[in-house]
A and B are shown apart, each in its own frame.
Chain A
C-alpha cells in the first residue's frame, strides 16, 4: 500500500503538529486531530487532497474502552474460567471520552481516510463540517442525538432517531441497554403513557478480553 504511505507523508508534511497521531493499519489510514483544528483541516482535505465526499460521520464514546466484565485466569492461547464478574463503570471524567470519527472518500484518487477528532469539554462540542460537506447535516444530528455531541453552528441540530420528547443520549456507554422508560396504552387516560422501566438489566454473556 504505497499509495497510503504517500498520502500519509503528504498529510504529515501539510499539517505537521496538527496531527496528534497517525495510524496506518489494515490498509487504512487514521489521523487524529484536536477539535479546534477541525474546520481548517477539513477544508484543506477537501480542496487540496480531493476528499470530495464525507461518507460517514459518527460519534464514539470511549469511556469503557478496554474494560471487561471479568478477568480471565490464564493466557490468551487457552480458555480459562471466569473468576470475578464485575459490572463495568463508565469513566467519570470527560477528558478524551468522546470523539467524532469522519470517513472521507476521494473518488478522484480512489482513496479513503479516517479522521478522528477528540473533544475534552463537557458537554462535548465540535464545529460543524456541514458547510464543507453537506452530507454532514444528518450525520451530525445523529451524533448529537445518540451521544449528546453539540455541533456549533449546525443549521438544524434536532434529534433525529429517537422518539419525540426523548430524554438522554442512548449510545453513551452509561445509558442502560434497556432504556429508562417503558410505554403502554392507558385505557383510562385514553393515551400512551410513559413509566419508569421495570426491566432488569443483566449481563447474558460477559465481556472478556483475551
Chain B
C-alpha cells in the first residue's frame, strides 16, 4: 500500500477560478483541505495613501477602481462621508438618481457574480446570459457618465449631470445589417428612464431563466448545498456583512436599518437564508436582484414626474456652469480654485457606510481641516470575507474551495485596495 502524505498546493495567483490575483497556499491531506492561507496584496495600489496626497475631488475616481464591478456604490460611500463632514444636503432628485444607480450597480455586480460563480462550478451558459444583461446596464452607465465602468458620476453635492433625454443607438456595421440594428434599437427610442423602465419589465423574466438553469439543477445543488456553512454567531464574529450575513439568517441590511438617501421611502424586502451555506447565499443574491429591480422601478416612476436640481448650488464644492465661466469673473475664479486647490473640509472624522452589493462598504475619513484627507480608510466587505476563507474551507475538498471563492464574491480591487 502506498503511503499518503500531506502536501502543500499553491493555488493561483494566475488561476481562472481565483477571481483575479488570489494566491492560496493550501495544506492538504489527500484531497481534503487542512489549512488555507490566502496571500493577498498582489493588487495593492495604496489607494488610501494616494488619496492623502490628492484633493477630495481628485481622489473620487480611485473609488471606481476599488470594487471594479460595483463602481458607483464605492463612490457613494466616499461622497456621503465628505457631504456629511461639510454639512451638505443633497438635492432630492440627486438622491433618487443615486438610489437608482446603486440598484443598477447591485444588479451589475450580482450578474457578474452569478456568471463567474456558475462558470467556476461548471455552468457555462449562465455566464453568457448574465453578460448580455450587463451590457444593457453598462449602456445606462455610459449614457449618464460617458464611461461604461469607471463612471465618476457621483460628486460631492449630487451627481455630475442630469439623466439624458436620449439613449445612444446602435449603428449598422459589417456585422449587423439595418434590420438587426433596428430591432436592437427598438427599446432605445425614448429617454434613459424609458430604457431602464423597459429593463425593469424584462429583467424578472431573465432571473426566472437563470433560476430555471440553476435552482433545481442537480449538479448545482450537489456543488453548493452544505458547502461553506457559517452559523449566524460565527458570521458576526468574522465581520460578515451583506449577503454573506443574510445567508446565515440575520436580517441586517443598511438600506433598511440605517437608511441613507431615499431608501426609507422605498418598498422592498430583505431576503435571508436559513442554513448559511453556499446555496442559501445563492438564493439570497438571486432574490436581491428581484428586489433591486423593484426599487429601480420606483425610482424611475418618481424621476419621470419630478424635475429639479441634481447638484447643490454652492460654488465652493460644485463647479459653476460652463456658460457662467465664460461670462462671469466670479464664476471663473471659483472654477479655477475648485479645480486647483479644491475645498477644505472642517476638522472632523466620519465613518460612512453603504449597503454595497458585497456587504458593508465603509469610508472612514479623518480631516484636519485641509483640502486633502488626513487619513482615508476603506472598509472593504470582501476583506473580512476572505479572512474567513480558512475557516470556511477547512475539511472540504479542493473543488469546494472554488465554490467558496465564488460564494464569497471576491473582487481583488477592494480587498487589496
Contacts and interface: CB of A to CB of B under 8 A. Distances in A.
Interface residues of B, number: 53
A133 B388 CA distance: 12
Give the interface size bracket for A toward B: 35 or more
Contact of B351 (A112, A170, A171, A210): A112
B268 to A, nearest CB: 18
A161 B344 contact: no
A142 to B, nearest CB: 8
A179 B379 CA distance: 24
A167 B372 CA distance: 27
Query: Which among B53, B257, B258, B387 has the greatest number of chain A C-beta atoms within 10 A?
Result: B387
Nearest to B391: A134
A68 to B, nearest CB: 6
B275 interface: no
A55 B369 contact: no
Contacts of A162: 41, 44
Given A60-B366, A135-B239, A177-B49, A26 B348 contact: yes
B350 A52 contact: no
Interface in B304-342: 333, 337, 340-342
Contacts of B364: 56, 58, 101, 103
A65 interface: yes
Contacts of B49: 170-171, 177
B239 A53 contact: yes
A26 B365 CA distance: 13
B237 interface: yes
A65 B368 contact: yes
B379 A55 contact: yes
B350 A205 contact: no
A7 to B, nearest CB: 15
Contacts of A76: 344
A160 B372 contact: no
Interface of A is mostly: loop
B9 interface: no
Contacts of A139: 383
Interface string A117-159: 0000000000000000111011100000000000000000001
B92 interface: no
Nearest to A23: B349
A52 B238 CA distance: 10
A195 to B, nearest CB: 20
A161 B41 contact: yes
Contact of B257 (A28, A64, A110): A110
A186 B192 CA distance: 52
A76 B386 CA distance: 45
Given A25-B348, A138-B384, A161-B416, 9 more contacts: A53-B237, A60-B366, A107-B236, A133-B239, A138-B386, A160-B40, A161-B44, A205-B55, A208-B371
20 contacts: A52-B236, A53-B236, A54-B239, A55-B241, A55-B362, A58-B364, A60-B366, A64-B374, A101-B377, A103-B362, A110-B258, A135-B384, A161-B44, A161-B416, A171-B48, A171-B49, A204-B53, A206-B341, A209-B371, A210-B369
Interface of B: 40-41, 44, 46, 48-50, 53-55, 58, 84-85, 236-239, 241, 250, 252, 257-258, 333, 337, 340-342, 344, 347-351, 353, 360, 362, 364, 366, 368-372, 374-375, 377, 379, 383-384, 386-387, 416-417
